[in-house]
Amino acid sequence: MLEDRSGSDIQFLTKNLGTFMEAARKRPEIASLSTTYLPNVPQQFADVDRDKVLKQGVNLSDVYKTIQAFMGGYFINYFNRFGRQWQVYIEAEGEDRAKAENVGQFYVRNNKGQNVPLSTLVTMKPRLGPEFLLRFNEYRSAQLNGSAAPGYSADQATAALEEVFKQTMPREMGFDYSGMSFQEQKAREGVPASVIFGLSLLFVFLILAALYESWSLPFSVLLSTPVAIFGAFAVFILAPLLAERIFCRHTWCRWRAMSTRKSG
């Protein structure tokens, strides 16, 4: 997560996100890097003239609710039928809300009971903006998804991204991990191996004590474990030497037998 910790506008996050991704994609540790942050999605901005709303005697909340209901959709309630629960929404017909200019077809009632067309109170303006805004740790953020290149681990890839961040990002920007990356970071910080080994011995001792119904017999089993481990390692170390000697002796015997046959 790339975070704007200064509370600046959307353009600030968009600019720094582009700079970071351009630099990160040049690193050999990164195979791919993408983001769910889309800053230039075509949108329609409903600019409500609040001064006109007050002069016309219209409740401002009624203006917003009317725009939502007819140009989008407004939830009413639930009802049960045919053994299922259904939702009730009100909205205009598809062809009536397909264009932003159709807002003039809808009216809102003022405090005198008169209908005021929305086109006199609202101006629809096309513009570009983010599809959605993501908040992480209460900061405006952009989510990044990446994968490590072949031959590099996830640890090396995240280290490369952190290095790029330090080189390219200003102090007002920050970063954090989420999902699987967050779990990986916590695992690297995790419990020391000595503690895990000690807890393992404790649980094995308790299980053996319950199995044999004795507090002394588990010690004999646990003390024999190092000997078994040493034997396994000894076989692992000596196996190549033994295999080489057996193979050489077998080859020498075959060569001697062939020589005897030829001499015979």
Distance of CA 9 to the CA centre of its chain: 24
pLDDT score recorded for residue 133:
84
Beta-carbon contacts of residue 153 (< 8 Å; ≥ 6 apart): none
Q: What pLDDT does residue 187 have? A: 76
Tally Cβ neighbours within 10 Å of residue 79: 10
DSSP code of residue 95: G
**CA-to-CA separations, 1 to 21, 35, 156, 171, in angstroms, rounded:** 12, 10, 18, 15
Q: What are the counts of helices (DSSP H) followed by strands (DSSP E) for the chain?
A: 7, 12
Residue 190 structure tokens: 């995790």
| Higher-confidence position of 46 and 260 | 46
Which residues share a beta bridge with 144?
35
Span 231-258, pLDDT tens digits: 777 777 776 666 555 544 544 445 444 4
| Contact in structure between 68 and 74 (CB atoms under 8 Å) | yes
Residue 45 near residue 122 (C-beta atoms within 8 A): no
Percent of the residues in the chain that have a pLDDT greater than 70, as a whole number: 90
Using one digit for the tens of pLDDT, what is the confidence trace for 105-125? 888 888 888 888 888 888 888
Taking only the tens place, the pLDDT of each residue in 34-92 is 998 888 888 888 888 888 888 889 888 888 888 888 888 888 899 999 989 999 988 88
Q: Residue 45: name the closest of 117, 85, 103 by CA.
A: 103
CA dist., res. 225 & res. 207, Å (int): 15
Burial category of 101 from C-beta neighbours within 10 Å (exposed 0-12, middle 13-18, buried 19 and up): exposed
pLDDT of residue 246: 52
Q: What is the 3-state secondary structure (H, E, C) of 16-79?
A: HHHHHHHHHCCCCCEEEEEECCCCCEEEEEEEECHHHHHHCCCCHHHHHHHHHHHHHCEEEEEE
Distances (CA, A) of 195 to 70, 170, 190: 63, 40, 10
- Give the pLDDT of residue 244: 56
Model pTM? 0.58
> Between these two residues, 197 and 20, which has the higher pLDDT value?
20
Residues 230, 237: Cα–Cα separation, whole Å: 10
14 and 141 in contact (C-beta within 8 Å)?
A: no
As a whole number of angstroms, the distance between CA 242 and CA 224 comes to: 26
Residue type, 239: A
Q: What's the mean pLDDT when you consider all of the chain? A: 83
Q: Average of pLDDT values for 198-216?
A: 87
